[in-house]
Amino acid sequence: MRKLWWKIVCIVLLFYVIVNGFMGTVPHLPILNESIRNTYFHVALWLAMTLLLFTSMIFSVRYLNSGDIKHDDIASELAKSGLFYGILGCLTGSLWANFTWGDPWPNDPKLNGAAVGILIYLAYILLRSSFEDEQRRARIASVYNIFAFAVFVPLIYILPRLTDSLHPGSGGNSTFGSYDMNNDLRMVFYPAIIGWILMGLWLAELRVRIKRINRLKEENFLEVQKSSRS
């Protein structure tokens, strides 16, 4: 299999996160109690997702520059990985909110922004499926992807800070830097981010490889048809 080492790193990191996620020391904070440990899962997922979507946008730009369909393959599969993490992030966040904020979906700008972001990327997938020709699909989807990410960042990060929000770091709440992120948390949090990013990349890589195999099979099939006709 292609380059096993980073996949092993991913597995080791995530096992570390799982074990230390439950057994490690965490700060004792009211309301949150033990659920602060969700930082390693919910928050890390969202950060990993942002990075995956950012990389997807970069590959979209590269496709528009080069015209090489391989870049668009990677861009689309990274976006799908990011979307998958986004949905997981919303579900885990909702679950967490239910027990700490008392409501699975309070009218919080970050949650609504996240939901809109997920819809935007779902529309990206829909857009891709509406084209038959590969190059046209790739071109239009790449442009959409760039705009999608450009809208996504303000929705999730900038808008919530400007208005009242329940989320830490937005709307007048103290950011991650102060008392709900100390060194104990950081020791598991940073490996968690890396672990989830690597897992998202792994999922995307598998799908890209399968896509390319299918494309090669199709090309071979068309070649055989042509040669059998001539």
Partner 1 sequence: MNTMKKVFSLLLSLLVISGNSIAQTAVDSSVPMADKLREDGKIWVVVAVVAVVFAGIVINMLRIDSKVSKIEKELNIK
Q: Residue numbers of the site for partner 1 (CB under 8 A)?
A: 1-2, 5, 7, 9, 11-16, 18-20, 22-25, 27-30, 33-34, 182-184, 187-188, 191, 202-203, 206, 209-210, 212-213, 216-217
Structure tokens of 173? Answer: 């709440």
Supply the minimum distance, in Å, between the C-beta of residue 115 and partner 1.
26
CA–CA separation, 44 vs 27, rounded Å? 18
Choose between 28 and 226: whose C-beta lies nearer to partner 1: 28
Contact 111, 105 (CB under 8 A): yes
Supply the minimum distance, in Å, between the C-beta of residue 33 and partner 1.
6
CA–CA separation, 161 vs 18, rounded Å? 31
Contact 92, 45 (CB under 8 A): yes
Residue closest to 161 by CA, chosen among 150, 175, 147: 175
Supply the minimum distance, in Å, between the C-beta of residue 215 and partner 1.
10
Choose between 114 and 194: whose C-beta lies nearer to partner 1: 194
Choose between 91 and 122: whose C-beta lies nearer to partner 1: 91
Supply the minimum distance, in Å, between the C-beta of residue 192 and partner 1.
12
Choose between 62 and 211: whose C-beta lies nearer to partner 1: 211
CA–CA separation, 174 vs 95, rounded Å? 22
